Amino acid sequence: MKVTVVGAGAVGASCAEYIAIKNFASEVVLLDIKEGFAEGKAMDLMQTASLNGFDTKITGITNDYSATANSDICVITSGIPRKPGMTREELIGINAGIVKTVSSSLIEHSPNTIIIVVSNPMDTMTYLVHKTTGLPKHRIIGMGGALDSARFKYRLAEALGAPISDVDGMVIGGHSDTGMVPLTRLATRNSVLVSEFLSEDRLNQVKEDTKVGGATLTKLLGTSAWYAPGAAVSGLVQAIACNQKKMFPCSVLLEGEYGLNDICIGAPVILGRNGIEKIVEIELSDAEKAHMQESSEGVRKTNGLLAL
């Protein structure tokens, strides 16, 4: 199993590290445009192999896509991250050009690859890859919901005073401060609905804290977060590589599901060796449907900024 990660910055390197530590891939290629940067990150990571006990071979390369040839999975993290006070949507000008060039170079050398898009604004970047590459929809996956759901579970556990392993929950919709739809109605603590333990006000607070999860970290760090994003990507890569058939919310091209068409937005999917093996449609409440509709309008507005 060969995995390429484009962008050896904070998220790309963290993603490569988690993939290696989980020890399921034979090879990870890190590629960056900055001279020597990916080579340095790869060498540093390889020097953790004997300490962390993994056999995955990590190599770094400066902008030479022949080194990525025949990758089973390619992850795109290249592009600029947001600074405090910025929205993800403001990154579109620079990142759209980068994602378009990078995805076409990857496919040239790995025509059968599955692509995972991480660069922001992620739903729009995923849509851009659909519109410009012609890859079938099950091989283009946007990572946002897996991270937002992890942040949701963190906030739920905090509110409940419970260990995170007791908590389950999911965030669907757009990967933006206003677009996320945290499904508090369905979240559980060890199979009991969290509404049994938490007031409506407290649950609304959890929802709001989840939606600004990325912005909160960007304010603290001065740039966007990387550990949880890297771990979330590694979870998707592992589900595909190991044919796990795990369910994650991912940005996926919808064709009628959730009443939406011609848009990439977060919905639950089953991930296995073929990429997206199924889109799972769950019954939403009227309020959730309205929130999903509003979220889709936000994503479409950003999609409208693409020069397609």
| Annotated binding-site ranges | 7-12, 32, 82, 88, 95, 118-120, 151
Tell me if 229 contacts ligand NAD by CB under 6 A. Answer: yes
Q: Work out how close the CB of 31 gets to ligand NAD at its nearest, in angstroms, rounded to a whole number.
A: 6
Q: Which stretch binds ligand NAD (CB under 6 A): 155-163, 179-187, 218-226, 242-250?
A: 218-226
Tell me if 8 contacts ligand NAD by CB under 6 A. Answer: yes
What DSSP designation does 124 have?
Answer: H
Q: Where are the beta strands (DSSP E) in 79-182?
A: 114-117, 140-142, 167-168, 171-173, 180-182
Q: Which stretch binds ligand NAD (CB under 6 A): 7-15, 133-141, 272-280, 283-291?
A: 7-15
Residue 24: CB atoms within 10 Å: 16
Rg (CA), the chain: 18
Q: Roughly what angle, to the nearest 10 degrees, separates helices 37-46 and 10-22?
A: 30
CA distance 308 to 48: 43
Tell me if 10 contacts ligand NAD by CB under 6 A. Answer: yes
Tell me if 122 contacts ligand NAD by CB under 6 A. Answer: yes
State the residue for tokens 């509003």: 294
CA distance 152 to 254: 24
Whether 138 is catalytic: no
Tell me if 212 contacts ligand NAD by CB under 6 A. Answer: no
CA distance 188 to 185: 9
Q: Applying CB under 6 A, what is the total number of residues that bind ligand NAD?
A: 34
CA angle 219, 142, 14 (to 5 degrees): 55
- Pick the catalytic residue from 109, 130, 138, 175: 175
User: Please, which residues have CB within 8 angstroms of residue 304's CB and are 6 or more apart in sequence?
Assistant: none
Hey, what are 181's tokens? 């739809």
Q: Work out how close the CB of 147 gets to ligand NAD at its nearest, in angstroms, rounded to a whole number.
A: 4
Q: Which stretch binds ligand NAD (CB under 6 A): 26-34, 238-246, 265-273, 290-298?
A: 26-34
User: Binding marks (x or -) toward ligand NAD, 34..73, rule CB under 6 A?
Assistant: x--x------------------------------------
Active site positions, annotated: 175
Residue numbers at the binding site for ligand NAD (CB under 6 A): 6-12, 32-34, 37, 77-82, 91, 95, 98, 102, 118-120, 122, 143-144, 147, 175, 223-226, 229
